[in-house]
Chains A and B, each alone.
Chain A
């Protein structure tokens, strides 16, 4: 089982690089209430908790698989354009830049009614910004080099694959402990989009080949679209800075008219106290954009060999003709660039998390303490394991493999170390700590610590922190 998972994980991590939304430190970190946001079927030991509004869960992350800020902006005397060229020729269409930010506005959870209840409910509201942009390899080469000297080369228009959105999510989760071995859960989400733009599933190509009548024949076949919602109305507003932008989109937090639904599911299986297996799929969801939508489409086919001079044979005037204007009109007719308002559906990037965990060490660790039981605590004091993370986006799946060590240091301090691999980062060490004082849980998680001394050299980094009030007693 472990060998199989390891094999699959390494395969995925090396073939399908990177992500910034990986919350490998939070996953299965059972002292932190927000772990249920990654696995609604997580083992929950608390009786209940309430997040401090706006401070219970803040996370920021970015990732860039192909280059980092230092590659481009290093203050090293090398001409900037040479650095741009070097970076550009090192990237390909599988490289991704992504950013993610979340702020929990409200978050709470409580055990079901009755001492013997096996249910746990959690709910809340959070705001999220999510952006990804796959490197548009062929379009970038075309813009950088032009088509000169590239006769016969196909430029794929599908390389344009970008999505960005700001939205709020209202969620309600149910967690049920079936027996000592199995716990499973689901979370229902309602999304409200504040602003959205996406261009994916594009098709078409541009190619220049030797012509039959003229030296070259230029050919475009395109079926492309950039869909937006919550964007067109911003044109009517006078927006000069970021704060005005947020003021403009804030009313869409709940009543923007562009809603979506989503589902998270997950489980925990503990066949014995030494081994734990967990898995979850989150954000199986879509958004329906019906309000304030604007789409830009380019659809058609066009072939150009130039302007044929007809010398009066087919024109009214045998001198000054409007061949150029005719050509432009023909192009616009064959390959129209339209701005339209239409309803469209967008998909949330679906995420998968899985883990195999081995627990070991002193099983009775907690019993050596005589404390007020601010958190329930049974089990071994150490855990090691492997986690696999994957995210599905249009045309791509990205993955990462994490090895971790979890340690119950004190009753009030728990820690988790992670080492995450993918082809672009072999040094991604992460550390998370969760503390408990006076029924307050404070946590801080950060990955890629090696690069925190100079974030410019980091291909990715993420940090999460939050404060929760933990209700006394255990589940």
Chain B
């Protein structure tokens, strides 16, 4: 019988325990501190020209090419509200025995240049000339990207020798990528 009372008391203790069930030593307001900071890496623009594209014996040929694209993604809400910094990697690989100059321009909605990147690419001399350019937009400069509406790229053959013909060998290649440092609160 005594054993029975022990069980009975255990039962009471059990009910007491359940009725005192609680959540303590926690602060759920901490969730407001939460920041998600992924870094998104993405390939951007690329192009590839053959040396023969710069044929200097063809009077109709140009020694400079320019193209551009609308790129208003940075002004979209996703980037506008959450982009904190960005790092662009531009890689020019030259297998042509002539030097080139590349110009990349970020423009606003009115076509006015916001940011210009100039890159000198030395001529091929038996080993490929790879020029890597890193551009970092920190928090103070990120507004430039957010106001960007279009991006243009121009590649120009610089004066020099040997002259390029429609049988000249080699190519000038451009590759690019960017890491976007996001911050979601």
Rounded to whole Å, the gap between the CB of A447 and the closest CB of chain B is 11
Q: B70 contacts A311, CB within 8 Å? A: no
- Interface of A toward B, CB cutoff 8 Å: 69-70, 72-76, 79-81, 83-84, 142-149, 151, 208, 211, 213-218, 304-312, 315, 318-325, 407, 409-410, 413, 415, 431, 433, 444, 446, 449, 452-456, 463
Give the complex CA separation of A453 and B18 in angstroms: 8
Given A319-B67, A446-B18, answer yes or no on A79-B33 (Cβ-Cβ < 8 Å).
yes
Q: Give the residue name and chain of the B residue nearest to A463 (CB).
A: B18
Q: B11 contacts A433, CB within 8 Å? A: yes
Q: A322 contacts B70, CB within 8 Å? A: yes
Set B4, B38, B49, B69: member contacting A307, Cβ < 8 A: B69
Given A73-B30, A307-B69, answer yes or no on A147-B41 (Cβ-Cβ < 8 Å).
yes
Q: How would residues 26 to 43 of chain B score, 1 for a CB under 8 Å from any chain A CB and 0 otherwise?
A: 111011011110111111
Query: Which residues of B, 158-183, contact A by the 8 Å Cβ criterion?
Result: 174-177, 179, 182
A-B contact pairs, 10 of them (CB 8 A): A73-B27, A80-B31, A147-B39, A149-B41, A215-B89, A306-B176, A309-B67, A319-B66, A410-B4, A413-B8
Q: A145 contacts B70, CB within 8 Å? A: no
Q: B35 contacts A452, CB within 8 Å? A: no
Q: Give the residue name and chain of the A residue nearest to B179 (CB).
A: A148
Q: How would residues 70 to 111 of chain B score, 1 for a CB under 8 Å from any chain A CB and 0 otherwise?
A: 111100000000000000010100000000000000000000
**Is B7 among interface residues, defined by CB-CB distance under 8 A?**
yes
Give the complex CA separation of A73 and B91 in angstroms: 46
Q: Give the residue name and chain of the B residue nearest to A415 (CB).
A: B7
Q: B49 contacts which chain A residues (CB < 8 A)?
A: 311
Q: B41 contacts A148, CB within 8 Å? A: yes
Q: A149 contacts which chain B residues (CB < 8 A)?
A: 39, 41
- Interface of B toward A, CB cutoff 8 Å: 4, 7-8, 10-11, 14-15, 17-18, 20-28, 30-31, 33-36, 38-49, 65-73, 89, 91, 150, 152-153, 174-177, 179, 182
Give the complex CA separation of A324 and B11 in angstroms: 70
Rounded to whole Å, the gap between the CB of A414 and the closest CB of chain B is 10
Q: A143 contacts B36, CB within 8 Å? A: yes
Q: A310 contacts which chain B residues (CB < 8 A)?
A: 47, 67
Q: A84 contacts B34, CB within 8 Å? A: yes
Q: A217 contacts B66, CB within 8 Å? A: no
Q: B41 contacts A322, CB within 8 Å? A: no
Q: Give the residue name and chain of the A residue nearest to B155 (CB).
A: A311
Given A79-B33, A216-B43, A413-B8, answer yes or no on A320-B69 (Cβ-Cβ < 8 Å).
yes
Q: B65 contacts which chain A residues (CB < 8 A)?
A: 311-312
Q: Give the residue name and chain of the A residue nearest to B91 (CB).
A: A215
Q: A453 contacts B20, CB within 8 Å? A: yes
Give the complex CA separation of A126 and B121 in angstroms: 75
Give the complex CA separation of A385 and B168 in angstroms: 87
Q: Give the residue name and chain of the B residue nearest to A81 (CB).
A: B35
Q: B43 contacts A452, CB within 8 Å? A: no
Q: B175 contacts which chain A residues (CB < 8 A)?
A: 211, 213-215, 306
Given A148-B40, A319-B68, A455-B21, answer yes or no on A214-B34 (Cβ-Cβ < 8 Å).
no
For A79, A80, A218, A312, which residue has the most chain B Cβ atoms within 10 angstroms? A80
Q: A446 contacts which chain B residues (CB < 8 A)?
A: 14, 18
Give the complex CA separation of A151 and B48 in angstroms: 24
Rounded to whole Å, the gap between the CB of B173 and the closest CB of chain A is 9
Q: Give the residue name and chain of the A residue nearest to B53 (CB).
A: A311
Set A73, A320, A456: member contacting B68, Cβ < 8 A: A320
Q: B150 contacts A320, CB within 8 Å? A: yes
Give the complex CA separation of A214 and B92 in angstroms: 11
